[in-house]
Copies of this chain bind each other. A is one copy, B any other.
């Protein structure tokens, strides 16, 4: 559908389009490097419509974190770890899914949460709170799954489920940073192999 044909009286569609474009641009170019002008152009909306839904760039960042980044985290990690036969299986599945996606895309733009965490944590207390809250959701999902395994007498590799969840998230996040600098998934695969050994 040509942009000029998009119905302008579809506020939810418009809001979603802005969020999609903003989430993508914040991830590939960064928050500071994305201008309101870029967003207006890429989303095919007017400046007035953008301002109506997101009066400030901070409001837009909060919505990207709380809706788009949270949804991606929920799908890639929270649901995967919750529904897998074990914490180990879920964790390795999440790594494998992301590594396969990077190889298929042929380019690495990094972890959506990690990118924004490094750029925005010191910029604003509300943004930092929103970012820290996503790390908490991520950590709780892994720690809860490890605890369920431990109640069955398994996951002896993780005597402290919270600390182990931090290790998994750190390995993933850091490997995605190296992968972005090298545009190559080698570090992510090394991280998954190390976790496979730890969780054996």
Contacts and interface: CB of A to CB of B under 8 A. Distances in A.
Interface of A: 28-33, 107-110, 114-115, 117-119, 121-123, 128, 131-132, 135, 160, 162-164, 166-167, 169-178, 180-183, 186-187, 190-191, 193-194, 198
B170 A187 contact: yes
Given A164-B190, A166-B187, A173-B178, 6 more contacts: A107-B122, A115-B119, A135-B181, A169-B178, A170-B171, A171-B171
Contacts of A171: 167, 170-171, 174
Copies of this chain, count: 2
Interface of A is mostly: helix
A114 B177 contact: yes
Contact of A167 (B118, B121, B173, B194): B194
A163 B193 CA distance: 9
A177 B180 contact: no
